[in-house]
Amino acid sequence: MQLFHHYATELSDICSPVQPFPLSRPRVAMLNDDLINELGLQRNEFENDKILQSLFSDKGELQDKSIAQKYGGHQFGQWNPNLGDGRGLLLGEIKNSDGQLIDLHLKGAGPTPYSRHADGRAVLRSTIREYLAGEALHALGIPSSRSLCLISSHEPVVREQRERGAMMIRTCPSHIRFGHFEYYYHSKQTSQLDALFAFCFTHHFQDCASSHAAMLLKIVRSTALMIAKWQAYGFNHGVMNTDNMSIHGITFDYGPYAFLDDFIPNYVCNRSDHSGRYAFDQQPSIGLWNLNALAHAFTPFVEIEELKEILSTYEPCLVNEYQSLVRARLGLSISSLNANSNNGGDGDDTNDDKLANEIDNLVHEWLNILKDEKADYHIPFRLLSERLLLIKDRNYNALSDDFIDANRVRQWCVNYHEVINIVMKIDDLSWEQIQSRMLAVNPKYVLRNHLAQAAIAAAEEDDFSLCEALLEALKQPFSEQQGMAQFAKAPDTSSKGISLSCSS
């Protein structure tokens, strides 16, 4: 493995050298073979003896130039300059097959100068949750950090109760957050802010030609696209502080996240979020709030009016992507309408406008049905996909019998049948082809909290088999898999809507 240390050497003024602090009786409990292969790494480099020696021995490659990064952030809307890598270390960077840098970051590494008197540890529970979530979102097409390996231990770590300590090596393009730029801007450390921008232009935003405006525009767009995907697939991050927001538009710093069970738009998965700031339906607006906070750091380089113009692209980008995703999930995606939407909606074709309105009405009514009935968010999409050919034959009961207000759903099916026929004619598709498209975007398997909790409970007894089985289902969420039925069921009432604290 060829390891680089660009951040540690080029930004040495804004980080601190720290070596990982070993855990008691560590062992590699999970290895991400798919990611190892994708990155062109060797599996044996991450197997027990080799990785532990590399992390913890005096001459270990991965601990040789490990550093903790300094940053700040808005936490629940309040500025906090006293943040940084409190339990994580950047071990270095590797290059993927495209020559792009990928961070290797150790989470749960022990105390750093930014730990604020905490122990710098991660617990097995939260480490498993992050490992599973990164793979689940990646398989759904939602950009995310991912984990190479998970190291369990028998070291006691106290959170809300005594738990087992763990570590994980996390990967992503970089660990640079909105809060990095905010900190060096608000603390008036001009040379450090300049150096941070120069580093990003050199290594991460080469296509922006050192234009701060172009860089911000790219961050705005990638953030909007990511959050649109969260909303379309029912994912609630839970702690959208600006120090948890990546400049690469990837899902990052998993805490008390949740995929929705019942469709409750104002669901709050974080029980520490007493005001509901980070509720599911607030995520789009919080994304823009966070981008506004980030934009302050660009004011020395970009005029205010241009910043406003850049930020104004966020909402249409998010809305267009969200509409496109949900239309596709319902089999209502039409190439001509998508092209018109991507061009800013400037088309003036009356028939297209009429059809777009009919499609949007179907989408809104579908979501309103789910909301009004507090129906499961995921299973109805999948049922519609699986039973589409029954609806083709006007057997509307095949879908409506699964709802409380069956008459309302039957009427929706009547309207849906009519519009699908139009979609077929425009794009020269058959019902079977539309069904195939829908099955490819509506997951059979979703990482629900009760499934993660069951896998964690087994792993805490040193049984990772349930974890591995769940992971296999999540890696192919759209494909029916033998022996995976338990992961496709809705939770029972007592297991719905599990909320967790920020220690998760």
Q: Indicate whether 130 pLDDT > 80.
A: yes
pLDDT tens profile 473-502? 999 999 999 999 999 999 999 898 888 877
Written as six digits, the tokens of 347 are 């088309």
Backbone phi, psi, residue 126, to 5°: -70, -30
pLDDT the model gives residue 299: 98
Q: What is the DSSP letter of 376?
A: B
Contact 170, 144 (CB under 8 A): no
Q: In whole angstroms, what is the distance from residue 493 CA to residue 49 CA?
A: 44
Which two three-digit tokens encode residue 279? 């509720």
| The pLDDT value given to residue 156 | 94
**Closest C-alpha among 238, 217, 237 to residue 229:** 237
Cβ of 27: how many Cβ atoms within 10 Å? 14
CA dihedral 126, 180, 101, 64 (to 10 degrees): -70
Phi, then psi, of 480 in degrees rounded to 5: -65, 125
Smallest Cα–Cα separation from 257: which of 130, 375, 143?
130
Question: What is the DSSP pairing of strand 235-236 with strand 258-259?
Answer: antiparallel
Residue given tokens 């996240």 in the structure block: 257
Q: Which residue has the higher pLDDT, 169 or 1?
A: 169
CB 104 within 8 A of CB 41: no
Active site residue 243: yes
Q: Tokens in use for 87?
A: 């339990």
Phi, psi torsion values for 262, nearest 5 degrees: -70, 150
Mean pLDDT along residues 29-49:
94
Is the separation of the CB atoms in 8 and 55 below 8 Å?
no
Compute how many other C-beta atoms are within 10 angstroms of the C-beta atom of residue 285. 12
Q: What is the mean pLDDT of the chain?
A: 95
What's the pLDDT tens digit per position in 313-355?
A: 999 999 999 999 999 999 999 876 665 555 555 545 677 889 9
Q: Which pLDDT score, from 0 to 100, does residue 172 have?
A: 97
Q: What is the pLDDT of residue 343?
A: 57
**Alpha carbon distances (Å) from 435 to 139, 392, 393:** 20, 10, 14
State the Cα–Cα distance between residues 457 and 10, nearest whole angstrom. Answer: 43
Helix (H, G, I), strand (E, B) or coil at 163: strand
How many Cα atoms sit within 13 Å of 373 on the Cβ side? 18
* DSSP β-bridge partners for residue 85: none
Q: At what angle do helices 449-459 and 465-475 cross, to 10 degrees?
A: 150
Across the range 170-182, mean pLDDT stands at 98
Contact indicator for 372, 229 with CB cutoff of 8 Å: no
State residue 48's pLDDT score. Answer: 86
How many other β-carbons are positioned within 10 Å of the β-carbon of residue 368?
13
| Distance of alpha carbon 407 from alpha carbon 401, whole angstroms | 9
How far is Cα 249 from Cα 143, in angstroms, rounded to an integer?
7
- Are 325 and 232 within 8 A, CB to CB? yes
pLDDT, tens digit, for every residue of 431-461? 999 999 999 999 999 999 999 999 999 999 9
Average pLDDT rounded to a whole number, residues 29-44: 95
Instruction: For the chain, count helices (H), then strands (E).
Output: 19, 11
Active-site pick, 243, 253, 261, 376? 243
CB 122 within 8 A of CB 156: no
**Element spanning 17, H or E:** strand 15-17
Say if strands 67-75 and 101-107 run parallel, antiparallel, or are unpaired.
Answer: unpaired
**Token couple for 207:** 């296509």
Model confidence pLDDT, tens digit, residues 139-163: 999 999 999 999 999 999 998 889 9
pLDDT bracket for residue 122 (50, 70, 90): very high
| pLDDT value, residue 336 | 67
Q: At what angle do helices 283-295 and 178-186 cross, to 10 degrees?
A: 40
Q: Is residue 97 classed as helix, strand or coil in its secondary structure?
A: coil
Over 90: is that where the pLDDT of 198 sits?
yes
* Type of residue found at 274: H
pLDDT the model gives residue 332: 96
Q: Reply yes or no on whether the pLDDT at 235 is more than 60.
A: yes
Separation of alpha carbons 302 and 377, rounded Å = 42
Helix axes 406-427, 431-439, angle to 10 degrees: 110
Tokens representing residue 171 in the block: 């990967």
